[in-house]
Amino acid sequence: MRVVLMSERPALRDALYLFLRGNGIEVVGDVADASHLSARSSALGPDVVLVDWRPSDAASAKTLIDAIAELKQGDASPRIIALIASGGSTQAHAAGVDAHTTLGDRPEDLLTLLTGTTQTYGSLAH
């Protein structure tokens, strides 16, 4: 499985990268800004785009929503999974994400969404 990460927060991107790689997930790229998400994902061809659904302001939120809409237009669009803070799932799903997990959930929950399997995984330290 090939994954692209998107988060405005460098520490979260780094933690996700290490966690996913440590659990056998291929992270093919990352972006810090949603304005680059569609182009980067198109170039890398991931199976999944993992987005941090905590935009820093209203303009960033609109950019993220627009980027998800662009990703969904392609014939082979990647699955989009959102990492949300509590209460953000309605907006994320309305924007077109396929699934979500809450940042306070167990790391195993994220990997289950990615792989569709249940097993014991390493921890996500951030």
pLDDT per residue rounded down to tens, the chain (126 residues): 999 999 999 999 999 999 999 999 999 999 999 999 999 999 999 999 999 998 878 888 899 999 999 998 877 789 999 998 876 778 888 889 999 888 888 888 899 888 875 444 344 443
Helix/strand/coil percent split, the chain, to 5: 45, 20, 35
Cα separation, 64 vs 55, whole angstroms = 8
Of 113, 112, 107, the C-alpha closest to 18 is: 107
Could you please state the CATH topology (level 3) that the domain comprising 2-115 is classified under: Rossmann fold (3.40.50)
The pLDDT value recorded for residue 123 is 40
Contacts of 28 (CB under 8 A, 6+ apart): 2, 3, 4, 44, 45, 46
Which helix H or strand E contains 26, and what residues bound it?
strand 26-31
pTM (2 decimals)?
Answer: 0.86
The pLDDT value recorded for residue 117 is 56
Of 98, 124, 96, the C-alpha closest to 110 is: 124
Q: Give the 3-state DSSP-derived string for 79-109, with helices as H, strands as E and coil as C.
A: EEEEEECCCCHHHHHHHCCCEEEECCCCHHH
Could you state, in order of their start, the residue ranges of all structural domains in the chain?
A: 2-115
